[in-house]
Structure 1
Amino acid sequence: MPQLDSDAHDDVATHLQASALIHSPSSKEEAIKVTGKFVDGQEKVLTEGALSLLSSLCDHFATQVPELLNARKFRLAKIDAGELPDYLPQTRKIREGDWQVRGIPNDLRDRRVELTGPVDRKMIINGLNANVKVFMADFEDSLAPSWKAIIEGQVNLRDAVRGEIEYTSAETGKHYQLNEDPAVLVCRVRGLHMVEKHLEFDGIAIPAALFDFALYFHNNYRQLLAKGSGPYFYVPKLESHLEARWWAKVFAFVEERFCLQPGTIKCTCLIETLPAVFEMNEILFELRSNIVALNCGRWDYIFSYIKTLKNHGDRILPDRHDVTMDTAFMSAYSRLLVKTCHKRGALAMGGMTALIPARTDELTQAVLDKVRIDKELEAKNGHDGTWVAHPDLADTAMGIFNEYIGVDHVNQLHITRDVDGPIAAKQLLTPCDGERTEAGMRLNIRIALRYIESWISGNACVPIYGQMEDAATAEISRASIWQWIKHEQSLSNGVVVTKALFKACLVEELAKVKHEVGEKRFTHGRFTQAAVLLEQITLCDDFVAFLTEPGDEMLIE
């Protein structure tokens, strides 16, 4: 396999390697301190062994996370100053080399439909029982990370792996339990930018990604391996192959510590940031022992496009509903991911449809028709599977991928997309056409208001106007308005988007939300706080990287 030339490693990589060598490990479990309030059941997951592993991981790897995040800022500053993202010249040998990932376990080879959802008890049972191949239990975009929610999520996954999970609804009395042949379980950890403030190592809040990974791995790996599966993870928000290299070291460290074969831990990485789309080969290469797939995280990708190119006035996106997967730059993203993955022996997962079933059969059929068009496009592009946000959409998605994959295959790894020419940076960076409308702006405000209110109240996966909104979709809503204000965009009615216009619209749309949810719900909710937060992050001259960061300070514990 090709190796990077010595001059291919930038200053950040060199610094990270040096810090890993000089930071001597300490086995001081006492360095770990839980600061969150006691949660029922936490003794099941915050065991001595789990905390020991977490302490070792923090000792070896936590100090490198700020360096990786600083590298993001340094790179973004260069783009803000006028550069455009592009393929890395120093890693050309990796892109042109002849190599493949280690391999895919049998129970991950067929992933034609995956359901995603938060880690509450009922959702986990319904997700594992759905007509899907994989259920992704999400500690990230669809979870508001209160300490209670995080701990209960880990307890719920532990019980699910052991087949002990049950739930009875207090409202209806309905009882939920696992079917005999549940879907494969994959755990999505939080991104590197997030910290777990309820637990400290040497007095510093630890990386949330390490917390989620360590607890799920330690509490479940034996049981997962015993039943022919394994510790499988989704890794979100990567922005570079250096971050993938960090994860590869974490995985290798844990495998060696627990005397596991290299490559036992398997991961799927979401390509949901604009910088990462130019480093897909490199990300696969760095994680080649552990990685099995990349995923088109389309909603975060659109958000990242806006965030990354925020200073570029010629890269403005239209109304959110116009940015679809059949637009040129989004299609290039999808096709490049398929071609890259299949060349390297990895699966290429399609993205999320945020649509959910409607209240009437007629409206639901219209939703299913839209889902069918969306999933047919992904299947035609060569994706090996796709995401849905609601179990009732699984049958439609499954039918489409069954048709394209056929009876002789379990995926579409045989589709090489060699018919495609090289996809240049220009194809990935040129925005799509579409209108910027006042109705679209007002809809964005209402979506962001309702989502932020729900998030700071503890619910991060919210049905709003016929779509399942999570942090990624809400980010697009507020980022679009910020972008339009900064670059003084005119709406289709000729009105220029200004801070004053946004303020006026915010007041009016808040009144509409009050009417939609009702006086009682509005009064007892946190809509005023949500409006204040939305105004702050939308009118701030410096773009706020993630709405969940200031939102975390307001989150109900």
Structure 2
Amino acid sequence: MSATVEDLSQARLSHRLDARQAEVLDAGALAFLADLHERFDARRRALLAARRERQARFDAGELPDFLPGTRAIREMDWRVAPIPAALQDRRVEITGPVDRKMIINALNSGANVFMADFEDSTAPTFANLVDGQLNLRDAVAGTIDYRAVDGRAYAVGADPAVLVVRPRGWHLPERHVEVRGKAMSGALFDFGVFAYHNAVALHARDRGPYFYLPKMESHREAALWNDVMDHAEAVLGLPQGAMKATVLIETLPAVFEMDEILHALRTRVAGLNCGRWDYIFSYLKTLRAHRDRVLPERGQVLMTVPFLRHYSELLIRTCHRRGAFAMGGMAAQIPINHDAAANAAAFAKVRADKLREVTAGHDGTWVAHPALVAVAREVFDAHMPMPNQLQVTRDDVVADRDTLLAPSPGTITRAGFDGNIEICLRYLAAWIDGQGCVPIHHLMEDAATAEISRAQLWQWLHRADDGVSTPLAFDDGAPIDFAAFDASLATARALLAATAMPGQARVSEAATLLARLTRADALADFLTLEAYEYLCDRP
């Protein structure tokens, strides 16, 4: 270890720890976190500044494109390092937050992989984060169990899913831990605590440690993750490349740098994933000033529209050329137990989506609920009898800048407009109350889907109110304006304040925040950054 808590005078916690929490935030872990911060945080901040500078160019009219300076990386023949046996078959992956019961159920779900999520499906209260680390430590040690209030006991079975952990993105702070007076990076905190306690044990069993890396916008951000992992391996006594990473391609700028991202992580990368919901949000955010690229309502922006289809197919071609896996996107449906016909229709949508993925060449897919594991597996087993599809090269795919940025035709209905407001209110109220994953109308909504809803509201209203462009209108011809927004928000606020739901007591705060974000002159970069100050455990 290159530093100690004492000689760095850092790692100040804003919360008092109970005895269990102190087990994962002991002096050794805090020193490890402080070392990561001192070595890498300045570089992280510089990369975030580079994001802002690039977005300013997009706002001024520039469009994302492939980088001329890295053409050689895209055109050269090279492949990533061999992928471990534990990750060779990833046909069904389940994702979810890091609460104890969820971890056990996900590990027992029959999925090949469980992605334990500190990011979009976890509200970053101190208790959620630290208890989540305790739960994962116990899962790795094989000692995790849970007893519900009704007396039901939960334990992990004999053949659990492979554990992969998703830390938060580079943009998110961890205010509960300061180093030399500055909040830590949430990404370094989540990664550091998990790696410090579990990396050696997982490596000894040929089970990692494995990570999903979210929200990156450039290969330089991937290179930072590679250097963080290189350093962590050296400190923890692991061989270089022991830590493996799968990267979510969920931002529009990143799709133009997929070869470069794989190259930056080539000694440890296992694949790329189509993070479809965040990708739609990123399309909205990146092209927010481009009046010709306003998207229709969310329900019409399916993976079959050109800009999404070309994105997923280019990801398959890029990954398989380099020997990496190409993972499909999330099925957010959850069972509708009280309505057999509606449940059958929802499962039929899942089957159709997974059939599209497996026939396109994806090596696996995501689901949000254990009941969907068997549905997804049935489709992939039928069309992918081998562990993966690296042999599917997709040389037929042509995806240039124009196809990746193609506008998506469609309409905006009043129901779609009102639905975005309702989703935002429900999700925000739950999030600031400490719950990051919320079932809404039989879909598992997380931060990514809430981001789509609020970004669409902002874009529709500001596109309609810019005084220059032809105003946007609903499909019935009525104008989309702030009068319509205010009326819909008031109706939804009153209804939800009287509805039993997660975060019911926080609906008023959620409505105030949504109104402020929607009326702001500039689209806020991230909903979770704006909502962080409302979080239920703020100091």
Looking at structure 1, the residues matched to 340 and 532 of structure 2 have their Cα atoms a distance apart, in angstroms, of 39
After TM superposition, give the deviation of residue 252 of structure 1 in Å: 1.0
Does residue 1:508 correspond to 2:491, yes or no? yes
In structure 2, relative to structure 1, the CA distance for the partners of 1:523 and 1:396 (3 Å cut) is: closer
Looking at structure 2, the residues matched to 239 and 145 of structure 1 have their Cα atoms a distance apart, in angstroms, of 22
**Unaligned 5+ residue runs, structure 2?**
465-471
After TM superposition, give the deviation of residue 133 of structure 1 in Å: 0.2
Conserved? CA contact 2:497–2:508, under 8 Å: no
- 2:512 is aligned, of 529, 532, 535, to 532
**Helix, strand or coil for the counterpart of 1:355?**
coil
After TM superposition, give the deviation of residue 226 of structure 1 in Å: 2.2
Looking at structure 2, the residues matched to 291 and 50 of structure 1 have their Cα atoms a distance apart, in angstroms, of 26
- 1:458 is aligned, of 434, 437, 448, to 434
Partner of 2:468: none
**Helix, strand or coil for the counterpart of 1:66?**
helix
Looking at structure 2, the residues matched to 70 and 377 of structure 1 have their Cα atoms a distance apart, in angstroms, of 38
Looking at structure 2, the residues matched to 271 and 451 of structure 1 have their Cα atoms a distance apart, in angstroms, of 24
Conserved? CA contact 1:29–1:51, under 8 Å: no
- 1:485 is aligned, of 450, 461, 464, to 461
- 1:111 is aligned, of 79, 90, 93, to 90
After TM superposition, give the deviation of residue 259 of structure 1 in Å: 3.0
Looking at structure 1, the residues matched to 515 and 299 of structure 2 have their Cα atoms a distance apart, in angstroms, of 22
Conserved? CA contact 1:26–1:59, under 8 Å: no
Partner of 2:171: 193
Conserved? CA contact 1:39–1:148, under 8 Å: no
Conserved? CA contact 2:305–2:408, under 8 Å: yes
- Larger CA deviation: 30-39 vs 376-385: 30-39
**Helix, strand or coil for the counterpart of 1:311?**
coil
Looking at structure 2, the residues matched to 217 and 461 of structure 1 have their Cα atoms a distance apart, in angstroms, of 24
Looking at structure 2, the residues matched to 361 and 163 of structure 1 have their Cα atoms a distance apart, in angstroms, of 38
- Give per-residue Cα distances to partners, 1:315-344, cap 9 Å, x unaligned: 010010101111111100000000000001
Looking at structure 1, the residues matched to 391 and 238 of structure 2 have their Cα atoms a distance apart, in angstroms, of 31
Does residue 1:276 correspond to 2:254, yes or no? yes
TM-score, normalising length from structure 2?
Answer: 0.96
After TM superposition, give the deviation of residue 275 of structure 1 in Å: 0.4
- 1:413 is aligned, of 390, 399, 405, to 390
**Helix, strand or coil for the counterpart of 1:76?**
helix
**Match for 2:267: what amino acid?**
S
**Helix, strand or coil for the counterpart of 1:525?**
helix
**Helix, strand or coil for the counterpart of 2:392?**
coil
Looking at structure 2, the residues matched to 425 and 466 of structure 1 have their Cα atoms a distance apart, in angstroms, of 35
Partner of 2:157: 179
- Give per-residue Cα distances to partners, 1:46-93, cap 9 Å, x unaligned: 122222221211111011111000000000000000000000000000
**Match for 2:109: what amino acid?**
A
**Match for 2:295: what amino acid?**
L
After TM superposition, give the deviation of residue 549 of structure 1 in Å: 1.1
Looking at structure 1, the residues matched to 19 and 518 of structure 2 have their Cα atoms a distance apart, in angstroms, of 38
- Larger CA deviation: 352-361 vs 269-278: 352-361
Conserved? CA contact 2:123–2:436, under 8 Å: yes
**Match for 1:212: what amino acid?**
D
**Match for 1:378: what amino acid?**
E
- 2:311 is aligned, of 319, 322, 333, to 333
Partner of 2:467: none
After TM superposition, give the deviation of residue 508 of structure 1 in Å: 1.6
Does residue 1:473 correspond to 2:456, yes or no? no
Partner of 2:218: 240
Give runs of aligned pairs for residues 187-226 of structure 1, distance below 5 A: 187-226=165-204
Looking at structure 1, the residues matched to 396 and 59 of structure 2 have their Cα atoms a distance apart, in angstroms, of 35
Does residue 1:286 correspond to 2:264, yes or no? yes
Looking at structure 1, the residues matched to 19 and 497 of structure 2 have their Cα atoms a distance apart, in angstroms, of 35
- 1:151 is aligned, of 130, 136, 159, to 130
- Larger CA deviation: 356-365 vs 328-337: 356-365
Looking at structure 1, the residues matched to 483 and 102 of structure 2 have their Cα atoms a distance apart, in angstroms, of 42
Conserved? CA contact 1:338–1:417, under 8 Å: yes
Does residue 1:436 correspond to 2:415, yes or no? no
**Helix, strand or coil for the counterpart of 1:41?**
helix
Looking at structure 2, the residues matched to 286 and 187 of structure 1 have their Cα atoms a distance apart, in angstroms, of 20
After TM superposition, give the deviation of residue 41 of structure 1 in Å: 1.2
Does residue 1:253 correspond to 2:251, yes or no? no
After TM superposition, give the deviation of residue 254 of structure 1 in Å: 1.4
After TM superposition, give the deviation of residue 514 of structure 1 in Å: 4.0
- 2:482 is aligned, of 479, 485, 499, to 499
In structure 2, relative to structure 1, the CA distance for the partners of 1:115 and 1:285 (3 Å cut) is: same
- Give per-residue Cα distances to partners, 1:165-208, cap 9 Å, x unaligned: 000111x2111000011000000000000111010111110111
After TM superposition, give the deviation of residue 367 of structure 1 in Å: 1.1
Conserved? CA contact 1:117–1:137, under 8 Å: yes
Conserved? CA contact 2:59–2:289, under 8 Å: yes
Conserved? CA contact 2:429–2:502, under 8 Å: no
CA RMSD of aligned residues (A): 1.4
Conserved? CA contact 2:200–2:236, under 8 Å: no
Give runs of aligned pairs for residues 358-373 of structure 1, distance below 5 A: 358-359=336-337, 360-373=339-352
Looking at structure 2, the residues matched to 199 and 523 of structure 1 have their Cα atoms a distance apart, in angstroms, of 26
**Helix, strand or coil for the counterpart of 2:56?**
helix
Conserved? CA contact 2:420–2:454, under 8 Å: yes
After TM superposition, give the deviation of residue 362 of structure 1 in Å: 2.3
**Match for 1:513: what amino acid?**
L
TM-score, normalising length from structure 1?
Answer: 0.92
Partner of 1:555: 535
Looking at structure 2, the residues matched to 152 and 127 of structure 1 have their Cα atoms a distance apart, in angstroms, of 17
- 2:522 is aligned, of 542, 546, 552, to 542
**Helix, strand or coil for the counterpart of 1:185?**
strand
In structure 2, relative to structure 1, the CA distance for the partners of 1:313 and 1:39 (3 Å cut) is: farther
In structure 2, relative to structure 1, the CA distance for the partners of 1:130 and 1:524 (3 Å cut) is: closer
- Give per-residue Cα distances to partners, 1:410-457, cap 9 Å, x unaligned: 00111000122x311100101222111111000111111111010011
**Helix, strand or coil for the counterpart of 1:31?**
coil
Looking at structure 1, the residues matched to 94 and 252 of structure 2 have their Cα atoms a distance apart, in angstroms, of 24
Looking at structure 2, the residues matched to 550 and 31 of structure 1 have their Cα atoms a distance apart, in angstroms, of 26
- Give per-residue Cα distances to partners, 1:445-500, cap 9 Å, x unaligned: 11111110100111110000110000000110111111101111211111221222
Conserved? CA contact 1:453–1:527, under 8 Å: yes
- 2:65 is aligned, of 62, 86, 93, to 86
- 2:334 is aligned, of 336, 344, 356, to 356
**Match for 1:114: what amino acid?**
E
**Match for 1:461: what amino acid?**
C
**Helix, strand or coil for the counterpart of 1:198?**
strand
Partner of 1:446: 422
**Helix, strand or coil for the counterpart of 2:247?**
strand
